[in-house]
């Protein structure tokens, strides 16, 4: 955190320029409003497990915590690692476009419960439901974004183990929250995870190849020693 503040004070103009590029997400997200409507036919793809998961309004906290999680680490990388920041930024845009293509070709629907209470959790649930129609759930962009960030954070050698544990726990909570607030089904989450890994590999294929080669070399060495 101290390092981030020092860099921010020193290079605030460069950081501001990087953050301005976030406008690309705004433009990409604008496409969603034209797809998130009923277009005559929708598919319903629950699993047996989905029917066993009860609605739980308290999971709206980690569900909305997604915004804080993404926002914090986008800001963090915009300050400390320009290269990684833009990989994440363009990865988000690319992943969203993949999701949009699937939404257009295979629109899905997740039924929602009615919210009758008046406490803060009920208010937040109505806020979520009012701003997002129950269409185009497969794949889950919520899960895609969270997992993509989690992958980058877990593979960042400059972050300590505590940060990585907190990040992973947050990602898991976000994924489960999509089930409990009835925004997504399991297939939605699985496909979101798949796209996150696909985007990560595409944007980091050189590093992935090097790591695979290193593991292969270690495997061969262990086999020779064992002979």
- Given a cut of 70, is residue 150 above it in pLDDT? yes
Minimum mean pLDDT range among 49-58, 92-101, 158-167, 217-226? 217-226
* Among 204, 58, 53, 72, residue whose Cα is nearest residue 145: 72
Bridge partner list, 108: 43
pLDDT class for 38, splitting at 50, 70, 90? confident
- Given a cut of 90, is residue 63 above it in pLDDT? yes
Using an 8 Å Cβ cutoff, are 41 and 105 in contact? no
Q: How many CA atoms lie within 13 A of 10 on its CB side?
A: 8
pLDDT in tens, 178-225: 999 999 999 999 999 999 999 999 999 988 888 888 877 777 766 667
pTM of the model: 0.91
Using an 8 Å Cβ cutoff, are 173 and 143 in contact? no
Residue 135 sits at φ, ψ, to 5 deg, of -115, 165
* Among 59, 89, 62, residue whose Cα is nearest residue 73: 89
Minimum mean pLDDT range among 18-27, 83-92, 218-227? 218-227
- Residue 159 token pair: 């972050």
């Amino acid at each position: 955190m101290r390092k981030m503040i020092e860099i921010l004070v020193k290079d605030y103009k460069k950081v501001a320029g990087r953050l301005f590029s976030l406008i690309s997400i705004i433009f990409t997200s604008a496409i969603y409003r034209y797809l998130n409507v009923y277009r005559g036919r929708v598919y319903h793809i629950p699993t047996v497990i989905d029917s066993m998961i009860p609605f739980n309004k308290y999971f709206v906290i980690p569900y909305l915590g997604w915004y804080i999680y993404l926002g914090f680490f986008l800001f963090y990388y915009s300050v400390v690692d320009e290269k990684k920041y833009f990989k994440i930024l363009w990865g988000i845009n690319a992943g969203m476009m993949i999701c949009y293509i699937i939404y257009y070709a295979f629109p899905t629907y997740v039924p929602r419960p009615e919210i009758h209470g008046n406490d803060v959790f009920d208010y937040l649930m109505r806020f979520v439901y009012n701003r997002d129609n129950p269409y185009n759930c497969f794949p889950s962009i919520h899960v895609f974004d969270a997992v993509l960030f989690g992958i980058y954070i877990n593979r960042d050698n400059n972050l300590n183990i505590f940060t990585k544990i907190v990040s992973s726990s947050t990602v898991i909570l976000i994924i489960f929250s999509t089930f409990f607030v009835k925004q997504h089904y399991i297939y939605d989450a699985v496909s979101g995870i798949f796209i996150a890994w696909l985007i990560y590999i595409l944007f980091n294929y050189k590093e992935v190849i090097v790591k695979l080669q290193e593991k292969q070399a270690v495997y061969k060495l262990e086999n020779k020693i064992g002979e």
